[in-house]
Structure 1
């Protein structure tokens, strides 16, 4: 199995936002685009309540709030490192910016 890497941090053990240990690894683009998230480095460590269980967590509040912010961060990174907005839409289905 390939070791996951993130374009946002080298520390996948601690939450990107809080610094808390034992972070969950979140794939910014889930489902059918999960492997693309891994390929492009669009994974990020999140403390459990930001990942799955809190009312504002990325899985409880998809495409809004923190989840939207992460998708926008990933798209901004993509457009400055990998390709155009059109390329991003081709890979990830739509623009989040």
Structure 2
């Protein structure tokens, strides 16, 4: 919401139809669009997000995955240690 999408570089879209073997490409340049416009009286776009800019750095998903993997290992070790201790006591835990 309140964001437009802008791509200043040339973008080529392949429009080839496999059935009729017609080959065509569509080249778009200076493209800006806004899907959900809330201001109908204004003729300008909202703040633009560039087409080549990444939304999320690659380090964030890697860090989250490592943290979740570490948590799984800690829980597994605690579970196995608890089973080993209860097996060492035998049937005295009634």
- TM-score bracket relative to the smaller structure: under 0.3
Structure 1 or 2, whichever has the larger Rg, is 2
Structure having the larger proportion of residues in strand: 2
TM-score normalized by structure 2?
A: 0.22
TM-score normalized by structure 1?
A: 0.21
Q: Which fold has the larger relative contact order, with Cα–Cα distance below 8 Å and residues 6 or more apart in sequence?
A: 2
Structure having the larger proportion of residues in helix: 1
